[in-house]
Amino acid sequence: MASAASRPAQPKGATGVLVLADGTVIWGKGFGVSGAAVGEVCFNTAMTGYQEVMTDPSYAAQIVTFTFPHIGNVGANPEDIESKVEGVVGCVVREDVTQPSNFRSLQGFTEWMAANGKIGLSGVDTRALTRRIRLAGAPNAVIAHDPNGKFDIPALLKRAQEWAGLEGMDLAQVVTRAGQEDWAGADWALGEGYRTMGTGGAEDRPHVVAIDYGAKDNIFRNLVKAGAKVTVVPAKTSLDEILALKPDGVFLSNGPGDPAATGEYAVPVIKGLLDRDIPLFGICLGHQMLALAAGAKTTKMHQGHRGANHPVQRVGEGWGETTGLVEITSMNHGFAVDADTLPPEVEQTHVSLFDGSNCGISIKGKQAFGVQYHPEASPGPQDSFYLFEKFVGMLG
């Protein structure tokens, strides 16, 4: 990977390119939709679940480098979509995308990428790119695809350099749903797809109002599976509007961007819910904003945590015999709660065994907790499902 001073000539047959803001140009074979998109380049270490990654709103304004070399082999299908809103703008992979070989596949990954407006780049040394991110941090870049191989590299470089980056950016209002929704989806079964909760006994279930900052649909399915009735509301729903729904508990969803920026309108609402002792559960961005509401601070990470194999240890006092237990978790975050800023009334409940960063909190005297990882992504595969049962169990 050469610097701007020794920029490589375009190889014959190159139809895709990744231009980093420092002038580095990485050539490859483009696939998916034609065009160009700007974002932050990150990497994900998961071996499976690439379609879920590509449709996770938490990846908005990001270009994902998959460290596993064979991406696209199982194709795509409409059941493995986490959200229909904008997520990843593009992806970088090692090997060319081949024809799918999976009984659930209904479409090739290349065709799915094109149909969903996402740009892909194959034939890249993803190990070298990943090492670069680990050493220098996640860079801003432009990913581009042109079947004719025509690129204006100076213009793409200028676009990458002028992009402000994720720090200070509120993306939750970009990816949130437009209006309120009564969630009806339930669990998935082979041959049946996603089942619905139905109407029988729904009114007897505890009512969870879920604030959508860029939520993954499987979170709502797990809340339903744990016994709740779920109403989903947009990110900027006011405290009065939430209280008017008479929630037994409020869920704070995952989402993209800088938590401090989203917190400008979300934190006052969360503080109001805490003042009224309404049970709260936050995941990822929701966890970070719960921490902000409790008086802590968040920080931009050097490279972030993204993958399906992150070990997290329970360290809080309230876990009884399971204190010290390690969960294998799925993560996707580029910001984190600064554990050194946690006030005395906030207990750290989980920590990353990779770097010791905060992965969970609980607020003393309140029924409010959050985790930095994604229990709905089935890591482990069932290590973290207890969190949904814990939350719904608080609601009576």
* CATH architecture entry for 172-393: 3-Layer(aba) Sandwich (3.40)
**Half-sphere exposure for 332 (CA within 13 Å, toward CB):** 36
pLDDT at 201: 55
Residue 305 annotated to the active site: no
Q: Is 284 in the active site?
A: yes
* Lookup: tokens for 292: 């902000």
Indicate the pLDDT class of residue 40, thresholds 50, 70 and 90: very high
What's the CA gap between 381 and 328, in Å, rounded?
A: 8
Lowest average pLDDT, out of 8-12, 94-98, 159-163, 366-370, goes to 8-12
For range 72-93, the mean pLDDT: 93
**Residue 23 phi/psi, 5° resolution?**
100, -10
Bin 79: left if φ > 0, else alpha if -120 < ψ < 50, else beta. Answer: alpha
Determine contact, residues 61/167, Cβ cutoff 8 Å: no
The predicted structure's pLDDT at residue 61: 97
pLDDT band at 43 (very low <50, low <70, confident <90, very high): very high
Closest CA to 261 of 174, 379, 385, 324: 174
Coil, helix or strand at residue 131: helix
Tens digit of pLDDT for each residue in 365-380?
999 999 999 999 988 7
What angle separates helix 386-393 from helix 217-225, to the nearest 10 degrees? 60
Q: Which residue intervals of the chain bear CATH 3.50.30.20?
A: 4-162
Q: Alpha carbon of 176 to those of 124, 143, 220, 223, 290: distances in Å?
A: 33, 25, 14, 19, 18
Fold of 4-162: Glucose Oxidase; domain 1 (3.50.30)
Residues of the chain with CATH 3.40.50.880: 172-393
Task: Give yes or no for residue 1 having a pLDDT over 80.
Answer: no
Average pLDDT on 17-34 reads: 98
Could you tell me the pLDDT band of residue 5, with boundaries at 50, 70 and 90?
very low
Q: Which of 86, 284, 310, 327 is catalytic?
A: 284
Residue 18: its pLDDT value, please?
98
List, for residues 280-327, the tens digit of each pLDDT value: 999 999 999 999 999 999 999 999 999 999 999 999 777 777 889 999
Mean per-residue pLDDT for 347-364?
Answer: 97
Our CA angle for 86, 92, 95, nearest 5°, is: 135
pLDDT of residue 345: 97
**Whether pTM exceeds 0.85:** yes
Mean pLDDT over 5-32 rounds to 92
For 108, the 3-state DSSP assignment is coil
> Which candidate in 40, 82, 327, 376 is catalytic?
376
Question: How do residues 242-260 score in pLDDT, each as one tens digit?
Answer: 999 999 999 999 999 999 9
One DSSP character per residue, 252-279 reads E---SB-HHHHHHHHHHHHHHHHHTT--
- Rounded CA-CA distance 90/37 in Å is 8
Q: Give SS3 for 391.
A: helix
pLDDT of residue 191: 82
- Nearest alpha-carbon partner for 182 in 224, 240, 232, 217: 232
Tokens of 207: 């009512």
Percent of the chain with pLDDT over 90: 87
Radius of gyration of the chain (CA): 21
Q: Which residues touch 154 (CB under 8 Å, ≥6 apart)? A: none
Contact 323, 315 (CB under 8 A): yes
